[in-house]
Structure 1
Amino acid sequence: MPELSYWMNTPYDWILLFVCALLIGMSKTGIQGITLLTIPLMAINFGAKPSTGLILPMLCFSDLIAVIYYRRNAEWNYIWKLLPAAIAGFFLAIAVDKLIPADEFRRLMAVCIFIGLGVMLWMEWKKTESKLLSTWWYAPLFGLMGGFTTMIGNAAGPILAVYLLSMRLPKYSFVGTSAWFFLLVNYLKLPLQIFVWENISTTTLFLNTISIPFMIIGAIIGIYFVKKVPEKIYRNFIIIVTILSTVMLFV
């Protein structure tokens, strides 16, 4: 497999791949947000756009594990509100891909997420609900941002987290809704990554395949974490991880 030498030249490359697979598995089954730790590491090591093709099938496999386990916990009304705008975000990302640097868009998305976090934390402090949550554009805005950022760099986790946290979903509904949403989004992205950006190949799929044990171990850790952590602590944990992972978008 001649292309393998492009990806894997040192033991560090293999360690990085397997650690990222572990983190992706953990993220998809409950420890939300830590996927963003993998994105800059993979981008620095393998290149920004090539690394998205390496990461996406790993996300798809881990989404499948999460959906199998949390299949009865999704709140579908939120998914349907987000999904059409998320698909529009895919095509927006493709349209502007060569016009505007991805780094500038990631920073813009980070600012938007921080604004959303600010509104959500304000509501928590005041113990009230904002009229923003019931406006017609609130869910589509998050859907559009999510679709755009997931296409550009698989970085939609914090955006969805802010939206679902603002909806005050219990932890199992939070994880189940995230799992189903990202399963749909990531599998819809596959043809675009394969045929438009051409960054998924037999070599990247081979690397994904040998990473499966690490994704499964990570998924088990995530499931155990959600079971053991109380509801309020879990919510606060997700808020903290979302803030930290959003900061990573500035990297």
Structure 2
Amino acid sequence: MLDLLPSLGALAWTLLAVAAVLVGLSKTALPGLGTVAAALFAAVLPARASTAALLLLLILGDIFALTIYRRHADWPTLVRLIPAVAVGLLLGAAFLAVSDDAWVRRGIGVILLVLMTVTVWQKVHPRIKERSQKRRRIERGAYGSLSGFTTMVANAGGAAMSLYLISAGFSVKAFLGTAAWFFAVINLTKVPISIGLGLITPATLVLDLLLAPAVVIGALIGKWIGARIKQSVFEWAVIGFTVVGAVYLVI
């Protein structure tokens, strides 16, 4: 990949810089933007290389998110998600080791669109939110495993988790705090797996070093937005950005 960096043109670097800013914004204000950032990276870099490069920038964004929202996390929710997410991560790692990920991206996009439809339906029909404990366990397992798988394969786990937290009725700060801890742990877990698969290279580190300031800028802008955004605007923004990212994965 080192020989690829000098060949990147102005447009490619601009898209990568915009994506890096969106990473920062997604961690501290609008989680749905993370899927858009993943789409931009995949449009500029080879799919496997883009996954590794974006991972390290996401970890930088996680640091800012934890600094701002770490006290607002819902720990019981995080603990209950661990088994399903672990299964998803292992399945995603196995898939990356043996398969091309083009077709599975389309499948992930379709699944996210279906989940988004269910989430919107629940918002429009509040009574649907009255769910049994068994149904909640099934939803937690489905969303958790999908989040683990999609974050390993396409760095798109934020979309599935965002829809889950919205459907569970989390406030803005509780949402961001819970997501911050969740993805900080998940992304750190992915590092040794990515190294073992040969996805993180010296070229990856050089690229991320150049893009790191853009993540910081996005995170600081997101901090300002997160302190002011209304709950309803936040929820619909997350849903809207998730749709954009899912459509990209489909096409």
Q: TM-score, normalised by structure 1?
A: 0.91
1:5 CA displacement: 2.8
Gaps of 5+ in 1: none
Cα gap change, 1:174 to 1:99, in 2 (>3 Å): same
Corresponding position of 1:14: 13
Give the C-alpha shift of residue 132 in structure 1.
6.1
**Secondary structure of residue in 2 paired with 1:211:** helix
1:45 to 1:244, Cα distance in 2 relative to 1, 3 A: closer
Larger deviation, residues 209-218 vs 38-47: 38-47
Percent identical residues = 30
Residues 123-142 of structure 1 deviation map (CA, whole Å, 9 limit, x = unaligned): 22222124267522221111
Q: Which residue of structure 2 lines up, in the alignment, with residue 126 of structure 1? A: 125
Q: Within 2, Cα distance between the matches of 1:133 and 1:211?
A: 44
Residue in 1 aligned with 2:65? 66
The alpha-carbon distance between structure 1 residues 88 and 60, as it changes in their structure 2 partners (threshold 3 A), is: same
Which segment is superposed worse, 205-214 or 126-135?
126-135
Counterpart residue identity of residue 215, structure 1: V
Q: Secondary structure at the match of 1:233?
A: helix
Question: Would you say the 8 A contact 2:110–2:250 is kept in 1?
Answer: no
1:148-172 alpha-carbon deviations (Å, 9 max, x no partner) = 1111110111101110001000011
- Aligned residue identity for 2:104: F
| Secondary structure, counterpart of 1:199 in structure 2 | coil
> Is 2:219 aligned against 1:219?
yes
SS at 2:185 equivalent: helix
Does the residue aligned with 2:60 lie in a helix, a strand or coil? helix
Could you give the per-residue CA deviations for residues 50-108 of structure 1, whole angstroms, max 9, x where no partner exists?
A: 11111110001111111111110111122112222212112212323366542332222
1:8·1:14 contact (CA, 8 Å) conserved in 2? no
Task: Give aligned pairs, total.
Answer: 248
Uncovered stretches (5+) of structure 2, i.e. residues with no partner: none
Report if aligned partners of 1:123, 1:130 keep a CA contact under 8 Å in 2: no
**For the aligned residues, what is the CA RMSD?**
1.9
Write the distance in 1 (CA, Å) between the matches of 2:115 and 2:40. Answer: 26
**What TM-score results when the alignment is normalised by the length of structure 2?**
0.91
Correspondence for 1:236: 236
Alpha-carbon distance change, 134 to 171 in structure 1, aligned in 2, over 3 angstroms: farther
